Structure 1
Amino acid sequence: MNITVYGIANCDTVKKARAWLDERGLAYHFHDFRKAGVPAQRLDAWTAAVGWEKLVNRQGTTWRKLEPARQAAVRDEAAAQRLMQAEPSVVKRPVVEWPGGRTTVGFDASAWEALADGRRR
């Protein structure tokens, strides 16, 4: 299994994450939410792995532009998944699937270093 990076190509955090992987010579597949959408079956796996609360980016522009009633409706996993399918840029980025079944959300160089070291062995 290879590394798969999910996100939006022009997102600064995704750019940093992809540059980090490139600098270390780690091969990965990039899935662009804007071009290919948020894959529903992966969304199920991500919410099981990290929880829906971690996946919904409440700090981002997309969330802040939502109507208050639409924000308030996100109270459980089903509602969060519907929103993430409808508004892919509300997903915190990047979501990364690592070999061995580990999923991370966001970019954390120190945590990624440990995951990358395990992959190189």
Structure 2
Amino acid sequence: MNIQIIGTKKCSDTKKAMRFFKERNVSYHFLDLGEKPLSRGELIKIAQKLGGDNLIDTQSKAYKDKGLAWMDYDAVEEVMENNLLLKTPVVRNGNEVTAGIDQKTWTLWIKEGK
């Protein structure tokens, strides 16, 4: 199993994801968006798995401040411009990806040993 957690140190949901895996003795690699943004290629791969609609955190302050609820936009372009729009945590396990808290899927990954 090769778990990567993408988020920020201040994000409570990212902290929950890290705690989830730590409590189950599953090692993970943490990518802090506050220190290093995702590359365009990585973001496109994630968007292809999740779909653009699931890429953006519609509850975030950045989303509301920009008024995206009333606009047509390209999710990848918006996240490239402001990575705080990304719905976190993004958890990758090989080619599989989740966004937000998805303990059901994470538990399945652990049971399958993928």
Aligned-pair CA distance for 1:92: 0.3
| Contact persistence 1:63–1:71 (CA under 8 A) | no
For the residues of structure 2 that align with 1:22 and 1:90, how far apart are their CA atoms? 26
The reply on whether 1:118 has 2:91 as its aligned counterpart is no
The reply on whether 1:93 has 2:88 as its aligned counterpart is yes
Where 2:44 maps in the other structure, the secondary structure is: helix
TM-score (norm 1): 0.85
Q: Which residue of 1 aligns with 2:43?
A: 43
For the residues of structure 1 that align with 2:111 and 2:13, how far apart are their CA atoms? 21
| Contact persistence 1:38–1:84 (CA under 8 A) | no
**Which stretches in structure 2 are left out of the alignment for 5+ residues?**
none
TM-score (norm 2): 0.90
For the residues of structure 2 that align with 1:73 and 1:34, how far apart are their CA atoms? 26
Q: Would the alpha carbon gap of residues 72 and 112 (structure 1) be closer, same or farther in structure 2, given more than 3 Å must change?
A: same
The reply on whether 1:12 has 2:16 as its aligned counterpart is no
Count of paired positions: 114
Aligned-pair CA distance for 1:69: 6.9
What CA deviation, in whole Å up to 9, does each residue of 1:64-88 have, x standing for no partner? 111x3796141xxxx2111101111
For the residues of structure 1 that align with 2:19 and 2:39, how far apart are their CA atoms? 24
For the residues of structure 1 that align with 2:27 and 2:14, how far apart are their CA atoms? 15
Aligned-pair CA distance for 1:60: 1.2
Structure with the larger helix share? 1
Q: Would the alpha carbon gap of residues 29 and 71 (structure 1) be closer, same or farther in structure 2, given more than 3 Å must change?
A: farther
